[in-house]
Structure 1
């Protein structure tokens, strides 16, 4: 006896649904570009790897206080993609931020850049999956010394390194500190407590004498 056509289609539909689910998992969602930053142990520089798509230019800049582009001095610049080797040209017009140009396509740009004031930040024109790795010599747990922009997920590992992630973010800002800076903060706070006690002690003694 021959099964109805609708019964024969059920296994095929189920297999098609399974294939679509696997395909959706395997393909990253739109806009899920990645940007990875590794801060060096001395906190004076970082290494970045930033994915870019459908473009022929990448600028090296930070966002200033007024929202302006501030040039960043970079080194060890490389690009990787569907090319071997991947070549680029420098573009450094006077008064503008430095940039590299290359044939239009999808690439990963890697470079090393300096850090100032223990702060690392970036702004994007597309949403990015951002990951910043802080080495064990540095820390971000003390709110008096550190600062993290909203939306971050913080993971601390056994080697005392820290990973800070932002999901589909257009910008991020992260301030860290060294152990020496934290020790200096505690020393300052203790000193302030001693000063407060010295200043208040005569007042307390006089109040007791009046009583």
Structure 2
């Protein structure tokens, strides 16, 4: 005797619910790590980026249109998972980003790159846990001077250095400032207040008193 269709729906529905529970409870795939240290005088930064299942790495920045721009890097090293350095080959096409090639695998790439206008940004093909360390003379807490992409976590450390981090980020953008720039902002604000007072003073002086 065949089981009625309504009876067979029970086990199927239970299996579907169990599958959904497993999917929802499963932890997300871990993101790779990328750390950046802004060096003193903010003209360059040191990077340490994890890569997985890769056989090449390109040194490029991304412009507003999403185009890859060449980045000149120095002190490049490629480190295997066991901590040993790995040899690589350079590719330097004319007027295009340079890259390194190596046996496919999981590595950490370290390098030093120039920094312009106190701004650091990067775009990734997969999620990264990103951290950017700033020396004590720089800050990002004033929103009128700094710029932070969504999801940034800012920590001011006991030595007055700053750590900015993003979790599971596909890109990030950071703009920081020094004390001189913040002092200039406050000076400009004071000047504008004084100017506004001077411009408004004649209005208050010629205003007629209220009639009794």
Q: Which category describes the TM-score, using the shorter chain as reference length?
A: 0.7 to 0.9
> How far 1:41 moved relative to its partner?
2.7
Q: 1:124 to 1:191 in 2, by over 3 A?
A: same
If the length of structure 2 is used for normalisation, what is the TM-score? Answer: 0.81
Residues 57-68 of structure 1 correspond to what in structure 2 (within 5 A)?
A: 57-68=56-67
If the length of structure 1 is used for normalisation, what is the TM-score? Answer: 0.82
**Residues 42, 137 of structure 1: 8 Å contact kept:** no
Distance 2:84 2:159 in 1: 36
Distance 1:73 1:203 in 2: 58
Which residue does 2:162 correspond to in 1? 162
2:149 is equivalent to residue 149 of structure 1: yes
Distance 2:113 2:207 in 1: 59
Q: 1:208 to 1:90 in 2, by over 3 A?
A: farther
> How far 1:95 moved relative to its partner?
2.8
> How far 1:134 moved relative to its partner?
1.2
> How far 1:209 moved relative to its partner?
6.7
SS at match of 2:41: coil
2:90 is equivalent to residue 78 of structure 1: no
**Residues 62, 122 of structure 1: 8 Å contact kept:** yes
2:111 is equivalent to residue 121 of structure 1: no
Q: Deviations over 1:147-192 (max 9, x none)?
A: 1111122211111111111111110111100001101111111111
Distance 1:71 1:31 in 2: 29
> Which residues of structure 1 form unaligned runs of 5+?
1-27
Distance 1:99 1:183 in 2: 41
> How far 1:120 moved relative to its partner?
0.5
Mean alpha-carbon deviation: is it higher for 39-48 or for 136-145?
39-48
> How far 1:113 moved relative to its partner?
0.8
Which residue does 2:186 correspond to in 1? 186
> How far 1:208 moved relative to its partner?
4.6
**Residues 70, 95 of structure 2: 8 Å contact kept:** no
Mean alpha-carbon deviation: is it higher for 84-93 or for 151-160?
84-93
Q: 1:209 to 1:202 in 2, by over 3 A?
A: farther
Which residue does 1:91 correspond to in 2? 91
**Residues 31, 126 of structure 1: 8 Å contact kept:** no
Distance 2:54 2:195 in 1: 59
SS at match of 1:143: coil
**Matched residues, number:** 184
SS at match of 1:56: strand
Runs of 4+ off more than 4 Å: 208-211
